[in-house]
Copies of this chain bind each other. A is one copy, B any other.
């Protein structure tokens, strides 16, 4: 199974840049004062993307590389939230219909955001979302944009890694640890690919909630480990409940240096810290990396650290099932 290349990531970056104000934001690295001279923390705030999460990069890139006439038949996605919103945004940018298949348990705010972008929402049982999305795509001849299991999506997320590499090198760091949340593994696969040509010595470390640590287990076993969906969905980090595919797990095994976990309490502490000390609204899934920097000091060592804050879409309402019920 071949990995996405750094060259492909660079091509993705150029394609995305052509979208101007409708494309992803080139997010800066934000130094966190008083995070220590030995292991300064810098945040990569993907929460500031127009859709509130890094998912906009992969979704827009996957849509952009489709043949125009094929794209016109529409985009289809299955997602519990941020990817749905990103595909809805991509539909709007390219002026094509978008359909998102969401589980009944999806956070209401994320679903409402996709709807307000003009997407058709199809609520289903969690276990059916993938098959239902494939069915819809096939019956309409539309294009399924997977949340992570596709090279074009990974190449889009890889632009996060390219930007980090550029900024780390401009700051003159000789080594850096980059912390990335893991769910389906599309983001960390991309980030690792994008960092391949960084001049600094880079360690890429994945972060999972203890309650959804299937990838940590698989990483140490050397092969994917399946956790039942009931186990994975116990965490408050609602965006981190998917599992890697063969494609993303291969990237992780080849390119990632370690995977660490954080507790639910540590995630909660980190979202508060991000709001009060860094002036960022982060969702729990986006805060796990900051939690790891703050609470896994010994495991991570004294190295300048970049924490990817993957998203900021906090739900203020009930889950879809009750909001819509």
Contacts and interface: CB of A to CB of B under 8 A. Distances in A.
Interface of A: 20-22, 25-34, 40, 42, 45, 47-48, 50-52, 89, 116-117, 170-172, 275-276, 278-282, 312-313, 316
Contact of A28 (B20, B26, B313): B26
Report the copy number of this chain in the oligomer.
Answer: 2
Contact of A20 (B33, B45, B172, B275): B172
Contacts of A45: 48
Contacts of A42: 21
Nearest to A25: B28
B279 A47 contact: yes
Contacts of A21: 31, 40, 42, 171
Contact of A279 (B29, B40, B170, B280): B280
Contacts of A22: 31
A162 to B, nearest CB: 15
A296 B26 CA distance: 29
A275 B271 CA distance: 13
A13 B25 CA distance: 22
15 contacts: A20-B172, A21-B31, A21-B42, A25-B28, A27-B28, A28-B28, A30-B48, A32-B50, A33-B51, A33-B89, A52-B279, A276-B316, A279-B280, A280-B281, A281-B281
